[in-house]
Structure 1
Amino acid sequence: MQNQASTTSHNPDRIIFTVGYAGHDRDSLLALFKAQGITAVADIRTFKRSSYWTAFDADSFGPFLRENGIAYVFMGDVMGGKPQTPALYPDGQLDYGLMAQTPAFRSGIARLVSGAEKYRICLMCAEKDPLDCHRTLLIAPALKEAGFDLRHLVEGRIESQTETEQRMLQVNGGDVPDLFAAAEPDPDADYKLALARQIKRVAPMADDAIKRR
């Protein structure tokens, strides 16, 4: 991570936090970070500025965090949920599988893994519910593969990634289609189906996500 405040904190538990700033103001979000011992924030929005939540624009919120002893880095260029590459929307909707394989995204994951050796990191996006955000649907699987667990700061409590996935199964449950019924039963079939359904439900469409220049 770059543009960081000086710190000697580290993350022995291999946990990365996430939060959506919707419904917060700067002070309440800062208090939340302090309460959880967060020492670095990775901003994973695609765009540095918001038309509504202007208090969290990168050019002012970043310095605010640093002034309060928390490192800040913008990573929306490699991990943002609305990438500006048309090829990642093959059917008009963002394909998270394709995005997860891009060199840029994989470099972002590697950067988080490296940074977590020194910092207690929180990923920040706008969406309040982690179930409706790419931090759960795109980034969490990659971090889990790297040996990390996620903790979501939401509604005044900490929700584990396991709890988020359980909610996803409840919302998207149903019969597992034949394509998952292999000769050897797949113990993750229900999760894979629920994830695919949730992605279909919330992944952005190209017409809405890509800025027209």
Structure 2
Amino acid sequence: MAAYDILTIGHSNHPIEVFFDNIRGAGGTELVDVRTNPVSRWNPQFEQSALTVSAPRAGLGYRWAGRFLGGRPSREELVIDGVASYPLMAETAEFGRGIERVTELAQQGRPVLVCSERDPLQCHRCLLVSRRLVANGLRVGHIPFTGAIELHEELEERLVEEVSKARGGKKGSEHELCKIVR
């Protein structure tokens, strides 16, 4: 079995060549764009219209999955106190279908979940999508722009440390944790 079944990356403001080099270097085969709205005012090279052309040229597949796995819900009942409720979102049929599709893709290659945030702790690709994939028995690794790939379980440990510092050592609900890290 490969070290990772699924990878994630945040495009941030990096040059597209560095982005693709990091993905290919980690063994990624297909971009799965999990942005609700796959556009970028400041980094047009990462807009969906650009990636559908540039990813295949870089030897990678591309598909948009934001309808199922996006981090900004369109339904009001999935938002609490102005913040997307990841626990509620994770229970929707749409989210379940998205997870099933990514799991199928992992059997054919090594999909890379793409969003915009550099730090996965600031992104639903870690706090929502990767958690479910790991709970389903898949190994998820987060690609940084420098350094080694971080296993999702290691990232969760870093999350606990950061939240503990932010709360003065107090624990909170998962919804409260999501509010703190954003």
- TM-score when scaled to structure 1? 0.77
Aligned residue in 2 for 1:98: 88
**Residue of structure 2 aligned with 1:63, choices 53, 56, 63:** 53
- Cα deviation, 1:100-151, whole Å, max 9, x if unaligned, reads 0111111000000111000111100000001111011111221012111211
- Asked whether 1:170 is paired with 2:147, we answer no
Provide the aligned length of Structure 1 versus Structure 2.
177
Paired residues of 2:87 and 2:175 also in contact (CA < 8 A):
no
**Structure 1 residues without counterparts, runs of 5 or longer:** 1-10, 177-192, 204-213
Q: Deviation of residue 45 (structure 1)?
A: 0.5
Q: Deviation of residue 92 (structure 1)?
A: 2.4
**Structure 2 residues without counterparts, runs of 5 or longer:** none
Q: Deviation of residue 41 (structure 1)?
A: 0.7
- Cα deviation, 1:185-208, whole Å, max 9, x if unaligned, reads xxxxxxxx48544312245xxxxx
- Cα deviation, 1:43-73, whole Å, max 9, x if unaligned, reads 0011021111111110111221112221110
Aligned residue type for 1:145: A
Paired residues of 1:151 and 1:160 also in contact (CA < 8 A):
yes
CA distance in structure 2 between the aligned counterparts of 1:167 and 1:17, rounded to whole angstroms: 18
Q: Deviation of residue 13 (structure 1)?
A: 5.0
CA distance in structure 2 between the aligned counterparts of 1:85 and 1:153, rounded to whole angstroms: 31
Aligned residue type for 1:107: R
Paired residues of 1:14 and 1:116 also in contact (CA < 8 A):
no
CA distance in structure 2 between the aligned counterparts of 1:175 and 1:62, rounded to whole angstroms: 44
Q: Which runs of 4+ in 1 moved over 6 A?
A: none
- Asked whether 1:21 is paired with 2:11, we answer yes
Q: Deviation of residue 24 (structure 1)?
A: 1.2
**Residue of structure 1 aligned with 2:178, choices 189, 195, 199:** 199
From the CA coordinates, give the structure whose radius of gyration is larger.
Answer: 1
Aligned residue type for 2:26: Q
CA distance in structure 2 between the aligned counterparts of 1:13 and 1:154, rounded to whole angstroms: 16
CA distance in structure 1 between the aligned counterparts of 2:2 and 2:173, rounded to whole angstroms: 31
Aligned residue in 2 for 1:80: 70
Question: SS of the residue aligned with 2:19?
Answer: helix
Q: Deviation of residue 23 (structure 1)?
A: 3.0
Aligned residue in 1 for 2:103: 113
